Structure 1
Amino acid sequence: MRRSLVAAFALAALANLTWTAPAVAQEVRINGAGASFPFPLYSAWFRHYNRVTPGVRINYQSVGSGAGVRNLINRTVDFSASDAAMTDAEIEEVQGGVVVLPMTAGEIVLAYNLPGVSTLRLPRDVYPLIFSGEVTRWTDPRIVAANPDVTLPDRQITVVRRSDSSGTTFVFTQHLSAISESFRTNVGTGTSVSWPAQPNIVGAPRNDGVTAQVNQTPGAIGYIEYFFATQTNSPMALLENASGKFVGPGAGAGQAALASADLSGDDLRIWVTDPSDPAAYPIATFTWMLFYRSHGNDRVAEALRNFVTWAMEDGQGMAEELGYIPLPEVLVKRVLAEVPEIQ
């Protein structure tokens, strides 16, 4: 009888017991969006960082620099990215302020589709006019003169440009405007510009879209980030630089271009519009991530500070193998000094 009573009391106690699992820290989920130019490197960074950092998951969408800046202003993301950094007016629109940090650098190349033409030289006074619609055939005398050993097809040039608001477009048109008065007057500089309304000038979204359009259109040429050209084996033109040398893209030529950057100012929105080094590829640029000075979520802000520190100290080593240019050490130190501003 006594055993029966004990058993009854035990069963009653178990019935009334509510088990509580040990507390587990909730995963920090961070969403970013923006430039397509650095997307291959950023994707590699985030995949690696997510693996080695338990409890943090960073996601990044390639939507273009213009959309990325707008998302930051609208506070629909935790961070953004832009090849055009941000203007003063855009920064003023962001509630809580912005920290603009260069994260890596790269080159914008002119990929072309000319079967049988493995080497193409484009003079400094010609390639801006291709994109302003003033040079329209591959047999233009100035192109022929620069390529005496090449048989160029007598066909129309199909120009492929970005159809979305793009930091790649900003950097590219900034360079063309710097070296060509005609381009500056007729097209200008911006993340979106008024391209000539000509049937041989067509648009495609993002770097991957322009790459695909060029590769499927014989006679086409378009501006894309170096990584996208190398991954698709797209031929890239040699461009005449400020010293009169025809130079192709690559790690050495990109680093020579960045050596022309003025890093002495306080602002980290730094441009290399027309590098002077004879070894420099002429179109190279830094690219930026954009963070809130006051995010509103301490855990997200802390995770982003930790990520930027990792990207500067460890992530730069992944840049060159993906076709990007690691930041100069002096710039890495300046970025690290700004990390505490992300709150």
Structure 2
Amino acid sequence: MKTKRHGAVLGLIAAGALLLTACGSDNNAPTGSTNSAAAGESSTPVECGGKSKLSAEGSSAQKNAMDTFVQAYQQKCQGADLAYNASGSGAGVKQFIGGQVDFGGSDSPLSESKGEVAGAAERCKGNPAWNLPLVFGPVALGYKLEGVTDLTLNGEVAAKIFNGAIKKWNDPAIAALNSSAKLPDKDIKVVYRSDESGTTDNFQKYLKAASKGAWTQGDGKQFKGGVGEAKEKSAGVAQAAGSVDGAITYVELSFAQDNKLSLAKIDNGAGPVELNDASVGKAIDGAKIKGSGNDLVLDLDSIYGSTEAGTYPLLLATYEIVCSKGYDADTAKAVKAFLTVAATDGQAGLAAAGYAPVPKAFQEKLLTAIKAIA
């Protein structure tokens, strides 16, 4: 995945609300050592050692972020490694609960109603699993429409597109939001995720919150709109949308950019908002935590339905799902080392990969939770 272009959109986030306290490290410490930072590096010590190669699986939305984290981990802890399989959030949760990987990656927290909370506790030997948000990123309404590169949508119109109530690009509802655009009399071709996806879940939650009742299909990791063409994983939907004129999809920013999709602005009631560093940073800065203790589940509903000017409301947070207790000693030590690096030094490379570094307040909460893993 080529990521060098992505910093143009999000490269300034750390200068604003999302102050990142950790910088990259190129200090290689022997396995088993305590790595304290020198000048210019993270000040958070990392207890390297334990299991030499961790395994994790899940969200494809965070694949590039995980690659960045692994690089930082290898630099910080000599001989350490992590293999990440970007199989999708649903598969990641299943593999974690089944004990096949050391931790899972998901764009949505564990679901109590689906039995995931109980299943994860059983996998963790009777201890609760924690949802730790390490990766934030905007979800783009990416489209390909010849002659139209400046398009505004709102929650209601987006909902009607993705449930089939609006079928043409020149529909009056779209035209009302885009008076200066020459919208063609062309069919809208929806592309959606076929696999279970936290991106789908977050997108449907946004539609539910922002559509003024136009989205009645509910949420969840399976797309429920009932229209369009299904493709697997983020790369699949972005590639499909980029190859067909008239297509639209929901996908993480980095994938939209890689496939040269145009990005729709979102009007949340206070005017069109472009997806950029300032609008994403403003949204993340307002995120609240609704989980208890070290289970850092975010309350994103207030963001999805926000009418605050200048806020881009469509984003997701990717969680690493870990056992609070229940690992063997070697696995626990390595998991804590990896997550500590990911929450500090690893965050420094995220803007260049199309993500937003965690806010300082979240970073502190993450480190507290990681330290408590046993």
TM norm structure 1? 0.86
SS at match of 1:93: helix
Name the count of aligned residue pairs: 315
- Contact kept, 8 Å, 1:251 with 1:324, in 2: the verdict is no
Report the equivalent of 2:263. 236
Match for 2:111: what amino acid? Answer: T
Whole-angstrom distance in 1 between the partners of 2:116 and 2:87: 18
Query: 2:328 corresponds to which residue?
Result: 297
Residue number among 181, 192, 195 corresponding to 2:225 in the alignment: 195
| Match in the other structure for 1:253 | 279
2:152·2:177 contact (CA, 8 Å) conserved in 1? yes
What is the alpha-carbon distance in structure 1 between the residues aligned to residue 75 and residue 257 of structure 2?
27
- From 227, 241, 244, the equivalent of 1:217 is 244
**Amino acid across the alignment from 1:188:** G
Q: Shift of the alpha carbon at 1:123?
A: 3.0
CA contact (8 A) 2:137 2:354 kept: yes
Cα distance change on mapping 1:176 and 1:264 into 2, 3 Å: closer
More displaced stretch, 49-58 vs 259-268: 259-268
CA deviation after TM superposition for structure 1 residue 271, in Å: 2.8
- Structure 1 letter corresponding to 2:287: A
For residue 179 of structure 2, what is the amino acid of its counterpart? P
User: Does the aligned pair in 2 maintain the 1:99–1:341 contact within 8 Å?
Assistant: no
Matched with 2:144 is 113
Match of 2:351 in 1: 320
CA distance in 2, matches of 1:172, 1:26: 38
Q: Which moved more, 1:253-262 or 1:102-111?
A: 253-262
Change (3 A) 1:259 1:156: same
How far is the alpha carbon of 1:247 from its aligned partner?
0.9
Q: 1:75 aligns with which of 84, 91, 99?
A: 99
| CA 193–26 in structure 1, closer or farther in 2 if over 3 Å, else same | closer
SS at match of 2:155: coil
Change (3 A) 1:189 1:27: closer
Checking the alignment, whether the CA contact within 8 Å between 1:36 and 1:64 is kept in structure 2 is yes
The letter of the residue matching 1:194 is K
| Structure with the higher fraction of residues in helix conformation | 1
**1:172 and 2:172 correspond:** no
| Structure 1 equivalent of residue 298 of structure 2 | 270
- Distance change (3 Å), C-alpha of 1:123 and 1:27: closer
Q: CA deviation at 1:49?
A: 2.0
Q: Distance in 2 between matches of 1:240 and 1:26?
A: 49
Residue range with higher mean Cα deviation, 305-314 or 154-163: 305-314
CA contact (8 A) 2:137 2:253 kept: yes
Indicate the residue corresponding to 2:55 in structure 1: 31
Residue pairs, 1:151-170, within 5 angstroms: 151-170=182-201
Residue 85 of structure 1 corresponds to 109
Equivalent in the alignment of 2:169? 138
State how far apart, in whole Å, the 1-side matches of 2:351 and 2:95 are: 29
For residues 264 and 174 of structure 1, the distance between their equivalents in structure 2, rounded to whole angstroms, comes to 16
1:109-165 Cα deviation digits (max 9, x unpaired):
111011221111113321111011100100101211222222112110000011000
Identity %: 29
Displacement of 1:99 in angstroms is 2.1
2-side partners of 1:216 and 1:264: how far apart? 40
Give me the whole-angstrom Cα distance separating, in 2, the residues matched to 1:225 and 1:135.
23
> What is the CA–CA distance in structure 1 between the aligned matches of 2:308 and 2:118, rounded to whole Å?
36
- Per chain length, whose mean CA-contact separation is higher, i.e. which structure has more relative contact order (CA < 8 Å, sep 6+)? 2
CA distance in 1, matches of 2:110, 2:94: 10
- The change in CA–CA distance for 1:193 and 1:150 in structure 2 (over 3 A counts) is closer
| Residues 74 and 179 of structure 1: CA distance in aligned 2, closer, same or farther (over 3 Å) | same
* TM norm structure 2: 0.80
Q: CA deviation at 1:258?
A: 1.4
Residue pair 1:27, 1:55 contacting (<8 A) in 2 also: no
How big is each residue's C-alpha offset from its partner over 1:37-77, in whole Å with a ceiling of 9 and x where there is no partner? 11111112213322442121101011111111011111111
CA distance change for structure 1 residues 264 and 82 in 2, over 3 Å: closer, same or farther? closer
State the match for 2:134 in structure 1. 103
- Choose which of 66, 83, 99 in structure 2 pairs with 1:59: 83
Report the CA distance between 1:315 and its aligned residue: 1.5
Corresponding residue SS for 1:136: coil
- Which residue number corresponds to residue 232 of structure 2? 205
The structure having more radius of gyration, on CA atoms, is: 1
Shift of 1:254: 0.8
CA distance 1:155–1:74, change in 2 (3 Å): same
